[in-house]
Amino acid sequence: MAETVEASKADDVNLGKKDLGEMFELISSFNAIKTSMLVDRERGRPLELDTIAGAVLRRCERLGIKAPYTEAVHTLLMHSGD
């Protein structure tokens, strides 16, 4: 999520530490849930990988910043169906 906050700057969206904290707090309050990508994987549907992780990676690249966690997850999920 921290990398998403950084990537948001490419679109002139000024998310900050407070927003990041609020996102973590919100997610922490959820009961056990499955992410939409996990549900897609379980049902044999294509993942929204480019829409979610790809968007972050493209924006970070445009800003010249690294997003190693997003890149690792993206790479692993791209090859998880092989």
What would the pLDDT profile of 23-66 be if each residue is shown by its tens digit? 989 988 888 888 888 999 999 999 999 999 999 999 999 999 99
pLDDT number for residue 45: 93
Around 33, how many Cα atoms within 13 Å sit in the side-chain half-sphere?
9
Do the Cβ atoms of 53 and 68 come closer than 8 Å?
no
* Domains of the chain, each with CATH number or no CATH: 2-78 (1.10.1040.10)
71-82 per-residue burial string, b: 16 or more CB within 10 A, e: under 16 = bebbeeeeeeee
Do the Cβ atoms of 74 and 49 come closer than 8 Å?
yes
The CA distances from residue 31 to 1, 34, 41, 42, in Å, are 19, 10, 21, 20
Q: What's the pTM?
A: 0.78
